[in-house]
A and B are shown apart, each in its own frame.
Chain A
C-alpha cells in the first residue's frame, strides 16, 4: 500500500494505492484521481513547461509545454531538447516547437502568441 498526494487538480487528495490489489486507488474524489494514482505507481508522467528562444517578438523567450504528459524520467532530457532552438515571430499558440520529444511521439508546443 502506497500513500500519495494527487496532483491532478489543486484539491490535492490523499490517495492510497494498493499495489497488491492491481493498483486499486482509494481516497480519490474523482475518476482522474484514480487514473493518476495508478499511473503514478506504474509509469509516472508529467506535463513539462519551459521556454525557447525567440526573435522578432515582444519577448526574447516563448513559453512552451509538452502536448501531453511525458514519462517523468525523461523530463530533464526533454527540456535539453529546447536548448539551441530558436523561433522567429510570428508564433501562434499551439505551434509545434519540437516534435517527437525523445521518441515519445509527444511535441513541445507554443503556449502563447508572439
Chain B
C-alpha cells in the first residue's frame, strides 16, 4: 500500500511527487513507462525553459535534470520501463514492466501525470497518397535529438505550433533543407520568439492561411501540395504550390492522454480533453488528481510545474487529512471568447488566499478586458493588450472575490472599441 502513486515521470509527475514529499507524504511511487525520468523534456534539447520557475534559461534536459536530482534527495520510489494498464475506482493501479513484472498496487491518492500525444494525419484528414515520410514533429524530434537519425532531407512542416517551429531549426542545423512552414490559421500557433529564432533566422518562409491539400509519392513522400485557404479554412482552387520534398512534419496540435482517466470513470471535459478538475487539481474521483498536459495542454513547462506542485500539495492534504471542508462549489463557465478554463470547478472554502485560473481564447484580441462575472455581478476585470489562442492565459482570483460569487462564475473577453 502506497500513500501516493504518481502515474508519469515527466515534469508534471516529478513536481507533484517532490511537493507531496516536502509536505510529509512518505510512501510515494512514480511509475514511468520510459527507461528514464524526464518525459518529453529529454528530447526538447532547445533552451527557453525555466524562466519563471528557475529564473534562468535552461534546456529541456537541464530542466528535467534539476527535478530528477531533487527527487534523488527524497525517498520517493521510482519504477521505470513500467506501464500502467488500469486505474480502478478503488485506487488500485495495475502496472507491468519487463523488469518490474506485473503488479497491482493500492494507493490512498493518485496523481495522473501522463502528459499528451500529438494529433496525426488521420485526425486532420490530409488527402493524398500514403507514403512513408509523414511524421509528427515530436516523433521526428525523438529521432533527431535522442537517437541520432535524420528522418529526411527536404522538409515541409504543417502547423506552426512550437514543436514544429523548433524542429524547423533543428532539421536545418542537422543539414536538412526546410522549405516551408504552413499554417491554416491566419496567425501562428507558436510563440513569437520561436517564429523569429527558428524561422526568420534561417529564412524559412511561413505561409499563414495555407494548408497541405495533397501528399504525393508511392513509397516515400515526393511532393507536398500547399494551397491557400479562405476565411472558412477551405482551400482556394488555383493557389496550389508544389514542394518537392521527402518529408512532411505535422505540428497540428496535442491531445491529453486520458485513456486511463476515462477507463477509471473520471469525468472528462470535452473542451480540454482532460479531466474536469477542482481548484486543487482534484478530479471527479476523490483522491485522484490530474496535472500538467494530461489536464490541459500547456505552452510552458514552468506552468506545468506550478500546477503540478499544487496537485502534489493537494494530494498530500488528502492523504494527511489536512484538507479543508468542501463547502459550496462554483462552476466556472466559458463566456464569450473563451474556449476552456482550468479549473472547471472552484470550492472557495478550499482556496487558501488566491486561486489560479487558466484559460484559452478563441481568437486574437487586442486591448481587451478579461471579465469575471457571477450572475449579473462583475467580480473582477483584468486588462490585456494582446490575447491569442496559442498563448494560455492566467488570472489570479483572490479568495475574497470568490466569496462574493454564487453558483457560477463566467470568464469572458470584452474587446475595447478600436479607436
| Interface pairs (26), CB distance under 8 Å | A5-B195, A5-B196, A6-B193, A7-B193, A7-B197, A9-B51, A9-B193, A10-B191, A12-B193, A46-B197, A46-B201, A47-B47, A47-B57, A49-B46, A49-B47, A50-B173, A51-B148, A58-B35, A61-B146, A61-B148, A63-B45, A63-B59, A63-B61, A93-B62, A93-B65, A112-B62
- From B61, B174, B191, residue with most partner A Cβ within 10 Å: B61
* Closest partner residue, chain B, to A64 (CB atom): B45
Within 8 A of B (CB), among A1-36: 4-10, 12
A58 touches B62 (CB 8 A): no
CA A72 to CA B196, docked complex, whole Å: 13
A59 sits at the interface (CB 8 A):
yes
B300 touches A10 (CB 8 A): yes
CA A113 to CA B59, docked complex, whole Å: 13
CA A50 to CA B146, docked complex, whole Å: 11
Our count of residue pairs bridging A and B at CB distance below 8 angstroms stands at 77
- For B64, the chain A residues whose CB sits under 8 A away are 112
* Closest partner residue, chain A, to B45 (CB atom): A63
A107 sits at the interface (CB 8 A):
no
Chain B, interface SS category:
helix
B407 sits at the interface (CB 8 A):
no
The interface size of chain A toward B, counting residues with CB under 8 Å, comes to 29
- From B51, B65, B173, B300, residue with most partner A Cβ within 10 Å: B173
* Closest partner residue, chain A, to B391 (CB atom): A10
Q: Which residues of B contact A (CB under 8 A)?
A: 35-36, 42, 45-48, 51, 57, 59-62, 64-65, 144-148, 173-174, 191-193, 195-197, 201, 299-300
CA A53 to CA B70, docked complex, whole Å: 28
CA A108 to CA B195, docked complex, whole Å: 24
Do A60 and B300 contact each other (CB < 8 Å), given the known contacts A47-B57, A112-B42? no
A51 touches B193 (CB 8 A): no
A61 touches B145 (CB 8 A): yes
CA A79 to CA B172, docked complex, whole Å: 11
A112 touches B61 (CB 8 A): yes
A12 touches B61 (CB 8 A): no
Starting from the known contacts A49-B59, A63-B59, A111-B59, 6 additional A-B residue pairs (CB-CB under 8 Å) come to A47-B57, A51-B144, A93-B62, A111-B45, A111-B61, A112-B42
From B57, B62, B145, A51 is in contact (CB under 8 Å) with B145
B59 touches A10 (CB 8 A): no
- For B173, the chain A residues whose CB sits under 8 A away are 48, 50, 75-76, 79
CA A63 to CA B195, docked complex, whole Å: 22
From A12, A48, A49, A76, B192 is in contact (CB under 8 Å) with A12
Do A112 and B65 contact each other (CB < 8 Å), given the known contacts A10-B51, A59-B146? yes
A51 touches B196 (CB 8 A): no
* Closest partner residue, chain A, to B49 (CB atom): A10
- For A65, the chain B residues whose CB sits under 8 A away are 45, 47, 59
CA A50 to CA B150, docked complex, whole Å: 13
CA A18 to CA B393, docked complex, whole Å: 31
Shortest beta-carbon distance, A40 to chain B, in Å? 9
- From A7, A10, A47, A50, residue with most partner B Cβ within 10 Å: A10
A49 touches B45 (CB 8 A): yes
* Closest partner residue, chain A, to B193 (CB atom): A7
- For A111, the chain B residues whose CB sits under 8 A away are 45, 59, 61-62, 65
Shortest beta-carbon distance, A75 to chain B, in Å? 7
* Closest partner residue, chain A, to B43 (CB atom): A63
Do A60 and B148 contact each other (CB < 8 Å), given the known contacts A10-B193, A72-B201? yes
CA A111 to CA B35, docked complex, whole Å: 18
From A48, A61, A63, A72, B147 is in contact (CB under 8 Å) with A61
- For A76, the chain B residues whose CB sits under 8 A away are 173
- For B146, the chain A residues whose CB sits under 8 A away are 59, 61
Shortest beta-carbon distance, A36 to chain B, in Å? 10
B51 touches A59 (CB 8 A): no
Shortest beta-carbon distance, A50 to chain B, in Å? 6
A58 touches B36 (CB 8 A): yes
* Closest partner residue, chain A, to B35 (CB atom): A58
* Closest partner residue, chain A, to B48 (CB atom): A10
CA A79 to CA B65, docked complex, whole Å: 24
Within 8 A of B (CB), among A98-114: 111-113
- From B42, B62, B64, B201, residue with most partner A Cβ within 10 Å: B62
- For A48, the chain B residues whose CB sits under 8 A away are 173
Shortest beta-carbon distance, A105 to chain B, in Å? 19
- For A7, the chain B residues whose CB sits under 8 A away are 192-193, 196-197
Shortest beta-carbon distance, A14 to chain B, in Å? 8
- For B197, the chain A residues whose CB sits under 8 A away are 7, 46
CA A65 to CA B201, docked complex, whole Å: 17
